[in-house]
Amino acid sequence: MVSKGSGPEGRGLRPARVTVRTGRARDLGARPKRAVGPHGGSGMPESPDPPAGSHEARLFGALAGAAPVGIFHADPDGGCLNVNARWCEIAGLTVAEALGDGWARAVHPDDRERIFAEWARCARERADFAAEYRFRTGDGRETWVYGQARPLPGGPGEPGGWVGTITDITARMHDEERARDGERQLTTLMANLPGVAYRCLNDHDWTMLFASAGCEPLLGCTPEDMVSGRVKFGDLVLPEYRPGVWETVQTCIAQRRRFTLTYRICNLRDEVKWVWEQGEGVFSEDGEFQFLEGFVTDITRQKEADALEAAKALAEEASRAKSEFLSRMSHDLRTPLNAVLGFAQLLKAELEEGAPTVHGGAVDEILGAGRHLLDLINEVLDLANIDAGRTRLRVDSVAPHALVAECVSMVRHLAEQRRVTVVPCPRGEGTAHVLGDRTRLKQVLMNLLTNAIKYNRPGGRVDLACAPAADGMIAIRVEDTGPGIPPESHAEVFEAFHRLPADAVRVEGSGLGLAIARRLVENMGGTITLESTLGEGSSFTVTLMAAPGGEAEAPEDREAIGLSDGAATDGTGTVLYIEDNPANQELVRQLVQRRPGVRLVCATLGGDGLDAARAQVPDLILLDLQLPDMDGLEVARRLRADGDTRDIPIVAVSAHSSPDDIERGLSEGLDGYLTKPVRLQELLREIDARLTYPDGA
C-alpha cells in the first residue's frame, strides 16, 4: 500500500511499512476475476464493492471476518479501499482512519522511507510486495507486522488494484531482538574473557569447532587458526602432561561429570604457561556424545605467586624454628651455666677470703654442669652439620660386638649411680661386621645406652643384643625396662628438641640425641626403629648392612678430672626457692650459708611451691619460670590471688632472658627479675633486702 502524492510515474509514492499476503481474487460483480492464490489472500475484489447482498459479498464478509490475519484492498495508487476487523485490531486504526492514505500515516516514521520505496518499485513492476515494518498508533503503541500484497488485474490500459494481508509478528521480533542482545552479550563476554572458551572434538588433537578471541594472548594464534586446524591445541600441551590430560577427560566423559585440569602449555610465542581448564562433554537427547565444551585460562602468575607464597611461608617457618631453637637453646644453655658460673663465684669468694678448704661437692656440680653444657653444644653442632650435609662419614668394616662392649664399659659408672644392670651381648653374638663409621656408630650406641639407663627405673635392666637380620643386615638392639613410650609419641621421639613431658623433670637432656642418631644411621645406609610397651620398657634397634669381618679397634682410654668450694650476715628470714634443677637448688643453698640467719626451703614443682608458700609464709620467694607442672607466671598469679601470700616479694630467677620475657614478668606482678646465669652479688642483694635485722642494724 502506498499513499498518493508526487513521485515515480507521476504518482509520488511515499514508502510505508506493511506486510501483505496477496492472492488473485476475482471480481465479486458480474465480471469474472482470478481466484485467490496458494499464499492465501484477502478474497477482497478489485472493483470497489460487490453487489450488496450477493453471494460473493456474503462469502467475502464471512472469510474476512474469520481470517486470523489483517486483510486489505487498495486501489492502484495504494489508497485503502477496505480492511477487515483483524487488520484494524493489528494496526490500531478504525476502518475510517485506514481508508485512503490514512493507513500510511500510521506507519512508523523510521520505516516509512524504506517501505514506501519498496511499494513504489512493486507498483512499477507490478510485482508482489513483502516486507516487515511497524505501525505506531497515536497512544505510542508499536506493532510489528509482516505484510504481503499482490497486484490485481486491471481493465484495458488501466492497472488493477492490490489485495493483501498483514500478520502480527511483534512477539517474534521481540524474541529475535532478545536473541540478538544475548548474542551480542555473549560475543562481548567471549572477547573479554581472560582465557579461551572452546568447543572441540574428543580426539588427541582436541580439534576445535569454536574458539573465542582469547586465543591470541594465551595461545599466540587466532580463533581461525584453531578452527581451521592450522594450529592443534594438542600440540601446545607439554608432552609430559598429555597422557594425564587425556586420561582425566576420558574418565569424566564416561562418568558424565565436569573435569578440572591444571597443566602447562608452550604457545606459538614459545612462552611456557600454566593453565587451568574446566569443561564437560555434551550429549544428544538420545545419549550420544557430541563434543566437549569448556574454558582454558592462564594461571601462570597465580602459580608463581603460590610458589612465592610457599617460599615465603617456608622462610617464615624457618625463621620461627630458628627463633624457637635460639629461645630453647638459650634456656637450656643458661641453666647449666647458672650452676657453672654460680659455683665458680662461690669458689672465688672463698679463695679471696682465704678459706683453707674447698668444698668437693661444688666442684662435682661444676664439672657435671660443664659436661652437660659441652654435650649440648656438641649436639647442636652435630645436628647443624648433618642437616647441612657437612658431616663426612668414614664407612668401613666395624665389629659391632666389640663396639657394644666398649660402650658398656663407658656407661658402667652411670649405671651404678642409677642402680641399673647393663647386660652386654651374649658371648658368640656379633661375629659378623657391619658397614659404618665407627666413631659415629659409637656415638649412636652411647646415646641409646645412656637413654636406656637415665630413663630406666631403679633396679632396672638394659639388655643388648647383636644378631643377623633380613636382607643381609645386622641388627643391634638396646632394650630397657623403663616406663615405656606412648604409641602416639613413637615418631616424635626422633624429632629435634622433642622430649616426653615426664622426661623433663629430673633427667638432663636437649632432645637432640635421637634426632642425631637417626640422621647418622640413615646416612650410613641403615635404619633405627622403636618398639615400646607402656609399663614394660622400650627397645631401640639399629640395623646396618653386613660387611666382611675385620678387627675392631681397642677401647679408647677415658680421661679423669677433679676440683673444690665455701661462704657468711646477721639478718634473719625464710627464703622459698621454687626450682626444678637440683644444681641450681644446691647453688642457692650454698650461697645462703653465707647468711646464717637465713633458712632456705626448696620446692621442685609449682604445686609444691604454692603449698610451701602457704605453710611457711616466707620473706622472699625465688621463682624459676619454667617448671615441669605449670608455668612460673601462673604460680605467681596464684600467689598474688591468695590472701595469705599476696604480699610476699617474688623475684624470678629464670633462663628466659629476652627483654620481652622480663617486661612480661614484671607486668605480671613480679618484684624482681634475675636472669641465668645469675650474678651471685645481685641474688644476695635481693635476699638481703628482704631480711629482718636487729634494731639499729
Residue ranges in 220-359 assigned as alpha helix (H): 223-228, 233-236, 242-255, 300-352
What pLDDT is recorded for position 11?
34
What pLDDT is recorded for position 44?
41
Residue in the structure block whose three cell numbers are 460483480: 29
The arrangement of strands across the sheet holding 80-83 comes to 80-83, 70-74, 162-168, 142-151, 129-136
Q: What is the DSSP string of 519-554?
A: HHHHHTT-EEEEEEETTTEEEEEEEEEEE---PPPP
Instruction: Decide: helix, strand or coil at residue 196.
Output: strand
Residue 62 has pLDDT above 80, yes or no: no
573-688: which CATH architecture? 3-Layer(aba) Sandwich (3.40)
What pLDDT is recorded for position 372?
58
Instruction: Average the pLDDT over each of 211-225, 323-337, 411-425, 671-685 and give the range with the smallest value.
Output: 323-337
Q: What is the DSSP string of 370-436?
A: HHHHHHHHHHHHHHHHHHTT-PPP--EEE-HHHHHHHHHHHTHHHHHHTT-EEE-PPTT---SEEEE
**Does the fold of domain 396-547 match that of domain 8-174?**
no
Strands 70-74 and 162-168: antiparallel
| Average pLDDT in the chain | 80
pLDDT (mean) for 476-501 = 82
Instruction: Decide: helix, strand or coil at residue 18.
Output: coil
Q: What are the residue boundaries of the structural domains of the chain, listed by start? A: 8-174, 193-298, 396-547, 573-688
Helices and strands in the chain: count of H runs, count of E runs: 21, 22
For residue 81, the one-letter residue type is L
What pLDDT is recorded for position 396?
85
Residue 429 has pLDDT above 90, yes or no: no
What pLDDT is recorded for position 292?
96
What pLDDT is recorded for position 7?
33
Q: How confident is the model at residue 498 (pLDDT cuts 50, 70, 90)?
A: low
Positive or negative, the Cα torsion across 645, 647, 648, 652? positive
Does 501 sit behind a cis peptide bond, omega within 30 degrees of 0 on the bond before it?
A: no
Name residues whose C-beta falls within 8 Å of residue 471's C-beta, 6 or more positions apart in sequence.
Answer: none
Instruction: Average the pLDDT over each of 92-106, 548-562, 605-619 and give the range with the smallest value.
Output: 548-562
pLDDT (mean) for 238-261 = 96
Residue 10 has pLDDT above 80, yes or no: no
Residue 404 has pLDDT above 70, yes or no: yes
Question: What is the C-alpha separation between 258 and 294, in angstroms, rounded?
Answer: 9
Q: What percent of the chain has pLDDT over 90?
A: 44
pLDDT (mean) for 217-223 = 94
Run of H or E including 298: strand 289-298
pLDDT (mean) for 83-109 = 91
| Long-range contacts of the stretch 402-408 (C-beta < 8 A, 24+) | 402/430, 402/552, 402/553, 403/438, 403/441, 403/442, 403/445, 403/552, 404/430, 404/445, 404/464, 404/466, 404/476, 405/555, 406/442, 406/555, 406/556, 407/442, 407/445, 407/446, 407/449, 408/449, 408/464
10 Å CB burial of residue 469 (0-12, 13-18, 19+) is middle
Domain 193-298 sits in CATH at 3.30.450.20
Strands 573-578 and 598-603: parallel
More confident residue, 394 or 124: 124
Question: What is the C-alpha separation between 49 and 599, in angstroms, rounded?
Answer: 140
Q: What is the DSSP string of 653-697?
A: EES--SHHHHHHHHHTT-SEEEESSPPHHHHHHHHHTTSB--TT-
Instruction: Decide: helix, strand or coil at residue 496.
Output: coil
Name residues whose C-beta falls within 8 Å of residue 299's C-beta, 6 or more positions apart in sequence.
Answer: 262, 274, 275, 276
Instruction: Average the pLDDT over each of 57-61, 185-189, 326-330 and give the range with the smallest value.
Output: 326-330
Domain 396-547 sits in CATH at 3.30.565.10
Q: Which CATH class is domain 8-174?
A: alpha beta
Instruction: Decide: helix, strand or coil at residue 85.
Output: helix
The arrangement of strands across the sheet holding 598-603 comes to 598-603, 573-578, 620-623, 650-654, 672-675
N- to C-terminal Cα distance for the chain? 133
Question: What is the C-alpha separation between 494 and 482, in angstroms, rounded?
Answer: 18
Q: How confident is the model at residue 14 (pLDDT cuts 50, 70, 90)?
A: very low
Burial state string for 620-634 with b = 16 or more CB within 10 A and e = fewer than 16: bbbbbbbbeeeebbe
Residue 73 has pLDDT above 80, yes or no: yes
What pLDDT is recorded for position 353?
65
Instruction: Average the pLDDT over each of 14-18, 437-441, 528-532 and give the range with the smallest value.
Output: 14-18
Question: What is the C-alpha separation between 375 and 335, in angstroms, rounded?
Answer: 13
Residue 219 has pLDDT above 80, yes or no: yes
Instruction: Decide: helix, strand or coil at residue 237.
Output: strand
Q: Are 418 and 453 in contact (CB under 8 A)?
A: yes
Residue 521 has pLDDT above 70, yes or no: yes
Q: Are 310 and 649 in contact (CB under 8 A)?
A: no
For residue 67, the one-letter residue type is A
Residue 282 has pLDDT above 70, yes or no: yes
Q: What is the DSSP string of 125-166?
A: HT--EEEEEEEE-TT--EEEEEEEEEEPP-STTS---EEEEE
Q: What is the 3-state secondary structure (H, E, C) of 602-652?
A: EECCHHHHHHHHHHHCCCEEEECCECCCCEHHHHHHHHHHCCCCCCCCEEE
What pLDDT is recorded for position 31?
31
